[in-house]
Every structure is written in C-alpha cells, then in structure tokens.
Amino acid sequence: MTTTIGLEIHVQLATQTKMFCGCSTAFGDEPNTHVCPVCLGLPGALPTLNAQAVVLATRLALALGCTVHEISEFSRKNYFYPDLPKSYQITQFDRPIATGGSLPVVTSAGRRDIRLTRAHIEEDAGKSMHAADITLGGETLVDFNRCGMPLIEIVTEPDMSSGDEAYEFLRGLRRLVRWLGVSSGDMEKGALRCDVNISVSDDPARRGTKVEIKNLNSFRSVKRAIDYEAQRQADCCARGIAIDTETRHFDEVQGTTSPMRSKEASNDYRYFPEPDLPLLRLDPEAVESQRREMPELPWQMQERLERDLGLSSYDAALLTEEREPAAFFEATLALYDNPKKVASYMGTEVARLLNERGASLGETRLTPAGLAGLLAMVENNTISNTASKEVLPLLLETGKAPEEAVRSLGLEQVSDTSALEALAREVIIENPAQVGQFKAGKEAVLGFLVGQLMKKSKGKANPQLAGEVLRKLLA
Amino acid sequence: MSSAAPRTVDEYRQGVRSRTFSSGEFLEETAGRIQQGDESIHAYLHLRLDAARAEAAHAEPALALAGAPVAVKDNIMMAGERCTCASRILADYVAPYSATAVEKLLSAGAIVPGKTNLDEFAMGSSTENSAFFPTRNPRDPSRVPGGSSGGSTAAVAAGFALAAIGSDTGGSVRQPAAFCGVVGFKPTYGLVSRYGLVAFASSLDCIGPVTRSVKDTAIMMNILAGHDARDATSIDRPPLDFEAALEPDLAGKRIGLIRELGGLSVQPDIEAALEDARRLAEQRGATVVEVSVPHILAALPAYYIIAPAECSANLGRYDGVRYGLRVEGRDMTETYSRTRNAGFGPEVKRRILIGTFVLSAGYYDAYYRKATEVRQLISDEMDAALAGVDALLTPTTPTTAFKLGAVTDPLEMYKADVFTIPANLAGLPAISIPAGTDSQGLPIGLQLMGARFGDAGLLSVANVLFEGLGGQA
C-alpha cells in the first residue's frame, strides 16, 4: 500500500492590523469589537492592502525557497456563508505571490525536502459560534473579529507518506514562522490551521482517490487523522471497496474520520480577479534586500551546531526551536566558549526552571553574561556544580551578576586547605570502618569519605581538593 | 428672492458672495420648488429639508460651493441618512458613514436637500427599475428621465438642486443628462474616489457630477477629484484646476468622429445635432477628423458580461444575515433564497443570474475571460485613437427620452447604451452636453470622450461646444 499526503496550511500573519482595513488583530477580545465597514463588508466599503502582510508573506516565501512573483493578483472566491460578510473571500487564485519552494523534514526515515506547490495571501472569514458553543436556544452567532485577518496559505506537493512526516512538516513550519516573526504559529489560537489531502493505493504506479480531512485542531490530531484514514483506505482497498472523493471530518474524541455533507465539496467558487484591488506589484529591490537580510534559518543553524560545534542533534534541535534560545546560546558562547557545556546546561537546568515557571528566556532576567559567568565559576572551582543549581534561580529572578549571587547565597567553594583539613579529621573520626577499608587498599571508599566531607561543608567544599586532603591525612 | 434666480452654481456663488441673496433664501426657494414639483417628478427618494435649512443658516460663502444645494444619488453613502439603492433589500438601511465624495462636497459647503431616485442598484436606463417609484422627465413628465441616475438629472433639470452627483457604470450619468437636457460627466476611472459608492460593477463604476453648465462641472470636479487612500483603485496624481483649464476656443484642437459608429441607427434630429456640433467645432478652430476604433461595437456585449459578473459578486452580501431585508426560511439556504427573492427586482435578478452564469466553471473562459480580453483590446484602440485627437464626438444616445413603459425588452434597453459604454470599459473621461432639442422639443445630448486623465482638457473642449450650442438647455 502506498500512502500519499499533501497539506494545505493557513498561517496567520503577525500584523498589527487586518489584511484590508485598519482594525486590530488582537485575539480573544469581546466578539465584534474589532470591526469596521470594510471588514464587515458594508455597502460601499472598499479594501486597501496591508503592506506589512505582504512583507511578512514575502519573508516566509523567501525562507521556503519559493519563487516570489513580482506581480500577483487578488481574486474573489464566491460562496454564501454567514461568517463571510461580502459573500466572497479576497484571495489569490491564478497568480499567487509565490510558487515552488520546499521545507526540509527529518523523521526516523531520514531527512527529506517536502516540495511546495504555492503560497498565496488571503483574508480570513469570521467565526461562527453554533448552539453547542453558546446557550442561546440553538441560534448561530457570528464573531467578525477574525474576519479579515491576514493569512498566507501554503499548499504542499503530495510528498509525504506518513502521519509522522506530516507532523514533522508542521513542526518545521511552525518553527520557521516563529523564527522569522511571521506568525505566532499558535494552533490553539487559530494562527496555524491545517487541512490534509490523503490517498492510499495498492498499486504504487497509480495514485488512489484523494480524500480531504478537515477540523484538525492540533499537530497530534493531524497525525492521528492521517494514521486512521490511511488504515481505513487501506482496508477499503484490501476489501475491494471503492473510495469516494470527499471531504471528511475528524472526530477528536473518537479518533475517527467521517464524511462531511457532500454539498460542501461541490462548490463552484466562480473565482475572478478582484476589481477593487490593483495587481500586487513587489519592488524587486525590496525583495532582494529582504533576501539579503534573511537570518540563518533554523535548520541551517541546527546543522551548523551539530557539524561545527559537535552538539548532539537533540541539543541542536532544542536550541533552534526558537530564535530566542538560539540567540541566547550564541551570545553565551561568545563569553564562555564551551558549546557542549552551554548547550547541556541550557537544555537541562535552564530548561527545567523555565518549564517550572512557564516562562520563556526573555521573560526572565537571566542574561548570557550571567550564564557564562556562572559556568566559568564552576569551571574554575569558585563554586561546585551542585551549588550552581542553587544560584541559577536567583539569576533568573534578579538578574544579579553571578559573583554577587554566589556571595549573597554564601556558596563560594571552600578551597582553603586548613578548613578542609578540620572537616576531614571529623570525617575520619566518624567513619572508622570505611577508613579501615581504605587503608586496606580499597580505593573506592575514598569517594564515600569525600561525599561525607561534602555533606559537612553543605556542598561548598571543592571535591577534588577534599579528596587530596583526605588522602594526605590517611597516608 | 429676486426674479433673477441663479441657474448654475457659478451664478449662485456670485449672488451669495455679493449678498444679492443668502444661502438660506436660495434653499428656501429650492425647497419650495421641490415641494411643489417633486410630487409629480419623483426625483427624490428621501428629503432632508429641515436639516438642510439648519445647515443653510450657517453656510459659508467663501467655500467653493457656498451653501449650494447639491443632490446625492441614493447609492452613495451619507452618514445618518438612508441609503436604499432604490431596492427593497435596503429599504431601511441607514448609512453608518459618508462616502469620500460626500465628505468632500460637504466640506466644500454643499447642502444636500435629499437623496435621489435611481434604477435599483444603478441597473437600468430609465429609473423605472426603482423599487419605490419611477422618476419622470421634467421636460415631459410622460417620459422617462433616463437612468440610472435619473433622480439626480431630473432634480437638476427641475431646479430641485443646482447640481448633483450620480454614478456612471455604463452611461448612468451621461444618458439621463442627455434625456433631461443637463450636463453629465463621467471622469477617468480612478480620478474620483468610489469609497462609499455602493458597488454595482467595481471596475466600471465612477461617481460623476450632474450640472447645468460645463463650468459647473469643472467647479464640481475641483472638489470631487483627488486621491483617496481608502480606495485602492484611486490614482495618486497632482491636483488639477479644472476651472482654470477652460479655454475660450478650439484653436489647434482635433476632434475625432468614430467611423465604426457611423452605421448605427440614430434618430435623425440627433444626427443633425451631431452635424451642427461638427460645424461649430470647425468654426471655433478645431480640425475634425475620422478615426477608427475597430472593435468598438463589441463593447456592448463585453459590458453585459463583465458588469453582471461583478454585480453577481458585489450583491451577494445582501443575504439577510447582518442588515437589510430578511425573510426567514427553514434553514440558512432558504433564508438566503427567500430574502433575495423578495428583496431584488427583476432586472437585478436578471443580471445576478447572467453574472453567475458567465463566471461558472466551464463557461468562464468562453464568456468572462473573452470579455475581459475584448475590453483590453477596445481600451488599447481607444487610447490609440485618442493619441491623435483631443476628443471623440458621438451622440450620447440613439434616441431622445422615451415614454414610461415604452421599452419593455431588456435587450432593447441595453442596446441604447452603445455610445456610452466604451468610455466605461476603457476607463476614459466622457461628458454629455445638451445640444438643442428634437422635433418634439425633447433634449438632445452629445458625448465627448477624452484621453485617460485628460479630464480637464476634455471639459475645456466641451465647454466651447456647450456654449456655442446654446449653453443652458
């Protein structure tokens, strides 16, 4: 059985105002508070294009390696629905802003470039709230705050063959849009939405019947829906049951897909060029300068971290998930040149604290200089690695210099031999049995004795020096 | 008020500024004419005379319009006033904002006595397609005023306003201006903002002035023209002084007659008026030449594909969900269907159906795409013809005003737009000026078309002919 999957992804562009009017794009406000004659489609109102939406769309298209077209065209997509106030959506049809391009995806099966068909910009519709969401006697209400939000729709070639691959594609795309500041990529806020096209065939030379799946509200839903649907179609093939070209709805609770009303699939949208908007002409120089100013892309940086700095692919992926930790990592590295140590410390201790606080790096007061200083203090034995874990929360919360934080916590490592000797003597007196074993030649017991000494020093003793002192006293 | 009442904005301004009369006095006289005459003419759909009186009391003589009464077609938004488009579907719709053109008129000191009648959503050539009542021609109330801006042209012709604005998609300002014996101008597409004009066919719709003289057209254009950031099809160009551009004669000008239009059947009195105008142009120093626009006769069929196509999308929003008429059905689809069936008149339905058909899968290439290609061809040919002449001269209409109810075949009605449509398809400026009357005393209109953004030059040519042909009709 061969499974063929293509995705259609809507990404909401992170502009301040809507696609064709000056209304705010703020999420989560009272329904119908960010509306005007234009986004409500009132008689006589006209759309004007948000230039920032075009800049963001161009940035994403360039990063995806698309051909960005100097001239593109808006079209009207006509259909009746209560959340579509003009009865048409302004989108791009014959002449999209970008075609081609690809996104690299890594799965257990290796790295592949998933090719893109096209990317076009369009406006979002409003949000229908049905009886289930509201308590108004079965009525449907519409919130037009979302109506006119700027979107870029990305259509892939049918290049994927598993739910895992689709899942990784979406993760990769979300990482990219966040990296570029093009979108929040938040699926739960509707800033990233995905429809799936899938077909299964028992003849590898022939593609099966295409089925579309809608209502996919998380990356996991996309994967589950594909896994279910691939199995369903494979079963149909095996049992000789014909597969219908249809749109299916994913049921998140059941984990199954079922046919949507066939009416919705048979729309004739009567596309034609939008007469209210002139052709979209991009300034080639502006596009070129966007291309020149393109930052290193996350997968490029990940590769570099692995190749040039010797990081594990796990650490490299973690650091390049978002722009902020990646930049933090590089800034820290400039002050403390030990990539593996910085990466591992960020991936464990820092990540744990951020996780506990539900915060991002930028929301704390930790600075690259702070982290670099802390790691340097561990390295030159000013503090122990254990003690550094007590210092870190203070750096996150206060932004103090690490030296000051260490001092205020009284965590300087004891490297004073006479102080250590006093503690060592106590340890020797309190542990005669182990001392005996050591003297009898059991070297490993020294570790236990060092541990006892560390305990007495409340972790402040320099463990290496403590070992030396004990060894000298027991000689 | 004195017996020498001003007939034009220009005369009115002089009168107000020289304190011969006041804005309030003139408005009162206009209101009196409306109250006496509009019961039979029906130029206005709704009046706002009390508000207008209050505004006239504070009119500012120094402003360009100095408190002159200017009527507004009822498909153009004026905040707080109803905007019905002469349709049952918007019978109670109140404009939540003002069109850019209305804002500009008001800031220039215009006083709006009311909103004028039209063919429903500007679809028609007689104002008989108004859902409320037909407007009658002030020159002969048994006849139509033309359309779709028949309310605006009748109001100006009857003295119910000194000027008006209308919308012209295929001749809707020029054709009724010809029928009513006034001046009607369709500017270059993009010169006057469409923001707040209820869309019929967006790529063709233009707001234009209706006046009693070409000089008044220039006065109105000085106010209406200009870039508007709210209309993406509005063109950003340096401002023009249309009034200052009016020249006294046609020395060195070239005027073209379009060969391909020569064979069309036109009422003989109109042929004669065209010949008079031709001779007059030569007398005033112009050279008259014949030019060719090979595909101009394809303009009519192309228009009646493109305009309905755009209309079918533009009118989809009247679905009963958010505003306007709503007739409940068992489900959403039936509510749409019942609302639109009850809300739209037959001509609007006909065009929505034609437009839906020509855009549908399998027919798009044969109809809509072909029509847009024809449009481009004609536009290029018109540009080429106008590169060699200053203006093209044609009749505005094949006949003078017909009787109410006389034209019932929609196709016959469409065919009468043959002279006016090419300027809309090509986006060019075109004006209809009064040129005498026919044997029954009905006004004749002649059309002049100019080069893209050659609006000021076109008005100058039109003004010489207008005055030479007798001035005010």
Close Cβ partners of B392 (under 8 Å, ≥ 6 residues apart):
B255, B256, B257, B258, B291, B382, B385, B386, B448, B449, B450
CB A208 within 8 A of CB A230: no
pLDDT at B2 over 80: no
CB B453 within 8 A of CB B192: no
- Closest-CA residue of A relative to B307 is A275
Q: CB–CB of A44 and B203 under 8 A?
A: no
Q: Any idea what the Cα angle at residue B140 is, between residues B134 and B146, rounded to 5°?
A: 45
What is the arrangement of strands in the sheet containing A272-273, beginning at the earlier edge strand? A88-92, A74-78, A272-273
Task: Please tell me the distance from the alpha carbon of residue B445 to that of residue B420, in angstroms, as a whole number.
Answer: 11
Read off the tokens for B223.
């106010």
- Specify the range with the lowest mean pLDDT, choosing from A313-322, B128-137, B303-312: A313-322
Cβ-based contacts of B323 with chain A (< 8 Å): 42
Q: CB–CB of A87 and B229 under 8 A?
A: no
Is A48 part of the contact surface with chain B (CB cutoff 8 Å)? yes
User: Burial level of A94, CB count in 10 A (0-12/13-18/19+)?
Assistant: exposed
In which band, very low, low, confident or very high, does the pLDDT at A133 lie, cut at 50, 70 and 90? low
Q: CB–CB of B364 and A272 under 8 A?
A: yes
Q: Any idea what the Cα angle at residue B121 is, between residues B117 and B124, rounded to 5°?
A: 80
Is A266 part of the contact surface with chain B (CB cutoff 8 Å)? no
* DSSP tag of B111: B
In which band, very low, low, confident or very high, does the pLDDT at A464 lie, cut at 50, 70 and 90? confident
Rg (CA), chain B: 21
Please state the rounded mean pLDDT for residues A425-436: 91
Is B341 part of the contact surface with chain A (CB cutoff 8 Å)? no
CATH topology of domain A417-474: Arc Repressor Mutant, subunit A (1.10.10)
User: Burial level of B433, CB count in 10 A (0-12/13-18/19+)?
Assistant: buried
In which band, very low, low, confident or very high, does the pLDDT at A421 lie, cut at 50, 70 and 90? confident
Report field, pTM of the whole predicted structure over 0.90 = yes
Of A43, A88, A142, the CB nearest to B313: A88
- Residue tagged 């895992």 (tokens): A164
Close Cβ partners of B153 (under 8 Å, ≥ 6 residues apart):
B145, B146, B164, B166, B173, B176, B177, B179, B180, B182, B184, B210
Q: CB–CB of B99 and A42 under 8 A?
A: no
Cβ-based contacts of A43 with chain B (< 8 Å): 77, 83, 85, 90, 93, 198-199, 317
Q: CB–CB of A44 and B195 under 8 A?
A: yes
Choose among B209, B156, B145: nearest CA to B178. B145
Domain ranges of chain A: 2-285, 296-409, 417-474
Is A268 part of the contact surface with chain B (CB cutoff 8 Å)? yes
pLDDT at B4 over 80: no
- Residue tagged 């369903």 (tokens): A232
Q: H or E segment at A102? A: strand A102-107
**3-state class of B403 per DSSP?**
strand
- Give the count of beta carbons closer than 10 Å to the beta carbon of residue B119: 33
Choose among B46, B74, B43, B265: nearest CA to B146. B43
- Specify the range with the lowest mean pLDDT, choosing from A121-135, A305-319, B427-441: A121-135
Task: Please tell me the distance from the alpha carbon of residue A265 to that of residue A249, in angstroms, as a whole number.
Answer: 12
Task: Please tell me the distance from the alpha carbon of residue A288 to that of residue A62, in angstroms, as a whole number.
Answer: 10
Mutation site for A-interface testing, chosen from B230, B318, B337, B358 by largest number of A Cβ within 10 Å? B230
- Give the count of beta carbons closer than 10 Å to the beta carbon of residue B294: 13
Alpha helices in B181-331 (DSSP H): 214-224, 268-283, 299-314
Cβ-based contacts of B77 with chain A (< 8 Å): 43-44
Choose among B114, B162, B115: nearest CA to B16. B162
- Give the count of beta carbons closer than 10 Å to the beta carbon of residue A409: 14
Of B194, B231, B317, the CB nearest to A87: B317
- For residue A245, the cross-strand partners are none
Please state the rounded mean pLDDT for residues B106-112: 98
pLDDT digits (tens, 9 = 90+) for B362-373: 999 999 999 999
Min distance B175 CA to chain A CA atoms (Å): 23
Min distance B371 CA to chain A CA atoms (Å): 12
- For residue B44, the cross-strand partners are B116
- For residue B163, the cross-strand partners are B70
Q: What is the pLDDT of residue A457?
A: 82
pLDDT at B149 over 80: yes
Alpha helices in B173-232 (DSSP H): 174-180, 214-224
Close Cβ partners of A262 (under 8 Å, ≥ 6 residues apart):
A246
Is B337 part of the contact surface with chain A (CB cutoff 8 Å)? no
Q: CB–CB of A88 and B316 under 8 A?
A: yes
User: Burial level of B295, CB count in 10 A (0-12/13-18/19+)?
Assistant: middle
Q: CB–CB of A46 and B195 under 8 A?
A: yes
The per-residue b/e assignment along A12-27, b for 16 or more CB within 10 angstroms, e otherwise, is bbbbebbbbbebebee
Q: CB–CB of A37 and B99 under 8 A?
A: no
Mutation site for B-interface testing, chosen from A49, A79, A87, A141 by largest number of B Cβ within 10 Å? A87
Q: CB–CB of B317 and A86 under 8 A?
A: yes
Give phi and psi for B287, each to the nearest 5.
Answer: -100, 130
Enzyme catalytic residues of B = 73, 148, 172
CB B410 within 8 A of CB B129: no
Share of chain A above pLDDT 70, in %: 96
* DSSP tag of A82: T
Q: CB–CB of B313 and A45 under 8 A?
A: no
How long, in residues, is chain B? 473
Q: CB–CB of A44 and B197 under 8 A?
A: yes
Task: Please tell me the distance from the alpha carbon of residue A254 to that of residue A256, in angstroms, as a whole number.
Answer: 5
ipTM beyond cut 0.90:
yes
Is A47 part of the contact surface with chain B (CB cutoff 8 Å)? yes
Cβ-based contacts of A40 with chain B (< 8 Å): 322
Task: Please tell me the distance from the alpha carbon of residue B445 to that of residue B180, in angstroms, as a whole number.
Answer: 9
- Closest-CA residue of A relative to B201 is A275
Is B85 part of the contact surface with chain A (CB cutoff 8 Å)? yes
Choose among B37, B36, B31: nearest CA to B71. B31
Mutation site for B-interface testing, chosen from A84, A276, A281 by largest number of B Cβ within 10 Å? A276
User: Burial level of B236, CB count in 10 A (0-12/13-18/19+)?
Assistant: exposed
Domain ranges of chain B: 9-248+399-468
pLDDT digits (tens, 9 = 90+) for A190-244: 999 999 999 999 888 888 899 999 989 899 999 999 999 999 999 999 999 999 8
Q: Any idea what the Cα angle at residue B294 is, between residues B288 and B295, rounded to 5°?
A: 130
Of B203, B232, B359, the CB nearest to A46: B232
Q: CB–CB of A272 and B360 under 8 A?
A: no
- Give the count of Cβ contacts less than 8 A between chain A and B: 94
pLDDT digits (tens, 9 = 90+) for A108-126: 888 899 999 999 999 999 9
Q: What is the pLDDT of residue A465?
A: 84
Region B9-248+399-468: CATH code = 3.90.1300.10
Mutation site for B-interface testing, chosen from A42, A74, A268 by largest number of B Cβ within 10 Å? A42
CB B71 within 8 A of CB B47: no
CA end-to-end span of chain A: 73
Is A88 part of the contact surface with chain B (CB cutoff 8 Å)? yes
- In this predicted model, which residue has the larger pLDDT, A196 or A260? A196
In which band, very low, low, confident or very high, does the pLDDT at B472 lie, cut at 50, 70 and 90? low
Is B76 part of the contact surface with chain A (CB cutoff 8 Å)? yes
Is B99 part of the contact surface with chain A (CB cutoff 8 Å)? yes
pLDDT digits (tens, 9 = 90+) for B238-282: 999 999 999 999 999 999 999 999 999 999 999 999 999 999 999
Is A447 part of the contact surface with chain B (CB cutoff 8 Å)? no
Alpha helices in A383-416 (DSSP H): 385-398, 402-409
Q: CB–CB of A277 and B83 under 8 A?
A: no
Q: Any idea what the Cα angle at residue B70 is, between residues B68 and B75, rounded to 5°?
A: 165
Q: CB–CB of B231 and A49 under 8 A?
A: no
User: Burial level of B38, CB count in 10 A (0-12/13-18/19+)?
Assistant: buried
Cβ-based contacts of A46 with chain B (< 8 Å): 194-195, 230-233
CB A130 within 8 A of CB A162: no
pLDDT digits (tens, 9 = 90+) for B175-217: 999 999 999 999 999 999 999 999 999 999 999 999 999 999 9
Rg (CA), chain A: 30
Is B361 part of the contact surface with chain A (CB cutoff 8 Å)? yes
